[in-house]
Amino acid sequence: MRAYLWFELRRLARDPRLALFSVLGPVVTYLIFSGLAGGGDQLEGVDAAAALMVGLAGYGAVAGVLSVGSLVSQERAVGWLSQLRVTPLPPWQAVAAKALVSTLSGVPSVIAVGITGRLQHHVELSAGRWIALLLLMWAGTVPFALLGLAIGYGLAPQLAQPVNFLAFLGLSVLGGLLVPVTYFPDALRHLGHALPTYRYAELGWRSVAGLAPTPSGLGVLAVWTVLFATLAAWAYRRSTAHR
């Protein structure tokens, strides 16, 4: 498994398009819209500039993770999964390695938007809180990596890309990564709280505030992780069975 994991890491490092997509967009968006946050305003229990920083860092991280995961549809179309199937690597290890590599594509967005927040709005956190923010927002991308793999293993390339985009847009908007759910109507706000994107960003907001993740938030993320893992495993088995 280590050899395959190293192989996937090198492939990821050679693709600069993903970094541009998941880093440049969130940074530019933060530079434009964070100026609308008034001094002293509070969102999600923290300063508005810091709350927007976390939301847009999460937006970029989810974009990068889903994009990497859905690229497997192209790999499947050219026969890569058929070649992988004849190796001694068990299916669950192939899925786990791909998911782990996918989560790493979310790290650059968190770092870049965090640096932007520090330089533009002087978001001040202790070293421990910056580290906790980075680690939690990396770990929190696991369900989205599995969702990307489920889409990639389950759909043809011409369908995987639009479905991936719609899933990303819907989860990001309804989960409050772009517009805080505080401004949503009651029904949409309750929906947002049930989505993995909101609970993912909540990890960052509470980290900024120096608080531990909530049990309810971790529970929601765990449920979505199990659901997406089940879908990814089923899609992988189905894709290899049809080759």
Identify the CA nearest to 51 among candidates 119, 131, 133. 133
47 SS3 class: strand
The pLDDT > 70 percentage for the chain reads: 81
pLDDT class of 45 with cuts at 50, 70, 90: confident
Report the pLDDT value the prediction gives residue 36, as an integer from 0 to 100: 65
- CA 63 vs CA 29, 72, 109, 206: distances in Å: 14, 15, 9, 22
pLDDT (tens digit, 9 = 90+) per residue, 166-202? 999 999 999 999 888 988 999 999 999 999 999 999 9
Beta bridge partners of 42: 47
Mean pLDDT to the nearest integer, 93-98: 76
Parse the chain into domains and list their residue ranges: 2-241
Average pLDDT of the residues of the chain:
85
Report the pLDDT value the prediction gives residue 54, as an integer from 0 to 100: 95
Identify the CA nearest to 192 among candidates 179, 169, 204, 175. 175
Q: Interhelix angle for 127-139 vs 48-70, to 10°?
A: 30
98: pLDDT strictly greater than 90: no
